[in-house]
A and B are shown apart, each in its own frame.
Chain A
Amino acid sequence: MVYRGPHKVRVEDKPVPVVEHPNDAIVKVELAAICGSDLHLYHGMMPDTRIGHTFGHEFVGRVEEVGSSVRNLQRGDRVMVPFNIYCGTCWFCARGLFSNCHNVNPNATAVGGIYGYSHTCGGYDGGQAQYVRVPFADVGPSVIPDWMDDEDALLCTDALATGYFGAQLGGIVEGDVVVVFGAGPVGLYAARSAWLMGAGRVIVIDHLEYRLEKARSFAYAETYNFTEHDDVVVLLKRLTGHLGADVAIDAVGAEADGNLLQHVTSASLKLQGGSPVALNWAIDGVRKGATVSVVGAYGPLFSAVKFGDAMNKGLTLRMNQAPVKRQWPRLFEHIRAGYLKPNDIVTHRIPLEHIAEGYHMFANKLDGCIKPVVLPHAS
């Protein structure tokens, strides 16, 4: 898959990637996914997204080749690869901030390295392809446990880990009222994870009925379609005895709909790093002294966030790209125990040659699409 400009992608032959560093591996991709944050790239919202770039930061596959210093993997290993590219030893990695690695992204210091996520995130080609270069093969990838399904492993590489991380950022204590904005994959996982942490009530807000249905069946959540209410903030106050939620999780990010002006100034005119509709609802919909967790992706340009309200309410804002591998040991326990079944949210499986239609379908929320998986070798 290659990017051909905003809203345009196609499949092209590119040279098979080669080992460029002694700790590289080349992975033959067996499954990849399209992620909601890929839509920021697809819509041309992420600066320095170059024509010819291959997207895809969620993938699993088999090791095809390893560099001379790789010790932990060998050819033929079935691996899951976190979306973060990281070195393991910089100041940030040493303290577990894998998504904030300082040694892998020459283009920016404000973000680490991410596969297939523009040059702003390091200029690495991604996994919506048959082969991908995996830097620091001794650090990032893990051999997929024998008992784990490939699709479940795939979803652990970003969406599930991010949703689980988002719930942790909320600092949930027993009995908390948690509101999750967005019923896409990350929002669904965040809502489900909130229960693991002892939430007393989980509310999910979205405008797509089929996604809200999934939030009810998969995440056991109480759901509200914001198009049916004049004012989401008033709704949340009424639902919570006029207190506001204890924790809000923004699982929407830059593509937020709900305010056409905000959406046009961000998605179309690129005057904002994203449409912060969901984030502003989160800030205004929680109680004073609450925590707002942000795992929705925003671009680096300014966004019109209601910071005064956040300050006056004494909110704690917590956010980051998820340090994926830090989540895995505990997530694996939850999956094995049956508390989570990641691939319950997969709705579409798309051969790589149909990727353009896959993107269009996912971006426009057609055909009940929640999570599309890409099959690079289907043909």
Chain B
Amino acid sequence: MTYTSERPPLAETSEDLRARIPGWGADLDPADRPSVPKLQWQEDRSGAHWDFPERQPEERPRERSIEHAFLTPVFGTSCPTSGVSGAIRRLAYARYSEGRLAHWLLLVLGDRVDAWGSHARSFLTLRPDNPVTETGVLSEFRRHGVSSRLGRGRTDLPHQLVVTPVVVAGPWVLGAAAVARLARRRARRRQPAVRPAVGRTTRALRVLRSSTSR
């Protein structure tokens, strides 16, 4: 009972639980739990045979957190920095610690610049980005998109059905509209300059009509 010193009673005793649940209590003793205590000296060094690891060659300049004394002896080499997004990312690492919001916001900005630059460049290749296949949205038909959602009381529906499509598809729709508009404008410019003359004639006729109608 909460308002006295007694604990609220449990429905099942330890013996009941041991009989019902395989392995109940196998790790009752904290000494059997591998992460207790938190800091445990690893006598076998986990198989390492060095005090400080040999250094991986730095084939090209590698960005690093300003909080590190030097480049770590081993590092990932996936997707080296390049272009505008690379410059933004290098600035984030060189100038701001992980404790500064600017560090993370610059990295997020770099990610968006990287994404849109990559999308744009992909249209110069034989494999342009395809938002339909790359979002996997066709699995909506193959994986029961409707029945997985409707009538199930899911709380993520507003996000899935409204926010995500706007955030994901919105820029593509706006981009396609902008390209279509640009194409129309170009097409207009290329047409022979006949319509303006017709326009001037029409305006002249209107003026003539309005002046004679009084």
Contacts and interface: CB of A to CB of B under 8 A. Distances in A.
Determine if chain A interacts with chain B.
yes
Contact residues on A (Cβ < 8 Å of other chain), bracket: 35 or more
B139 A48 contact: no
B92 to A, nearest CB: 8
A216 interface: no
Contact of A243 (B2, B41, B71, B137): B2
Nearest to A10: B134
B8 A120 contact: no
A136 interface: yes
Contacts of B185: none
Interface stretch (B10-18, B175-183, B190-198, B203-211): B10-18
A258 interface: yes
B76 A125 contact: yes
A255 B35 CA distance: 26
B21 A88 contact: no
Interface residues of B, number: 102
A330 B75 contact: no
A89 B27 contact: no
A48 B89 contact: yes
B45 interface: yes
Contact of A209 (B42, B54, B68, B152): B152
Interface string A127-143: 00000000110110000
A93 B27 CA distance: 24
B40 interface: yes
Contact of A94 (B42, B111, B129): B42
B126 interface: no
Q: Which applies to chain A's interface (DSSP): helix, strand, loop or mixed? A: loop
Given A174-B25, A207-B155, A323-B35, A124 B40 contact: no
A108 to B, nearest CB: 5
Contact of A200 (B17, B41, B48): B17
Interface string B116-151: 101100000000011101111111101111001100
B123 to A, nearest CB: 13
A367 B128 CA distance: 30
A75 interface: no
Contacts of B87: none
Interface string A281-312: 00000000000000000001110000000000
A10 B129 CA distance: 9
B213 interface: no
Contacts of A50: 78-79, 85, 111, 114
Contact of B76 (A69, A103, A122): A122
Given A47-B107, A334-B23, A136 B53 contact: yes
B84 interface: no
Contacts of A103: 52-53, 72-74
Interface of B: 1-3, 7-8, 10-12, 14, 17, 20-28, 30, 32-36, 38-42, 45-54, 56-57, 62-65, 67-68, 71-79, 85, 89, 92-93, 98, 101, 104, 107-108, 110-111, 114-116, 118-119, 129-131, 133-140, 142-145, 148-149, 152-156, 158-160, 163-164, 167-168
7 contacts: A87-B74, A136-B48, A198-B24, A263-B163, A267-B159, A360-B135, A365-B154
Shortest Cβ-Cβ A-B pairs, 6 listed: A339-B23, A88-B48, A241-B8, A123-B76, A360-B136, A124-B76
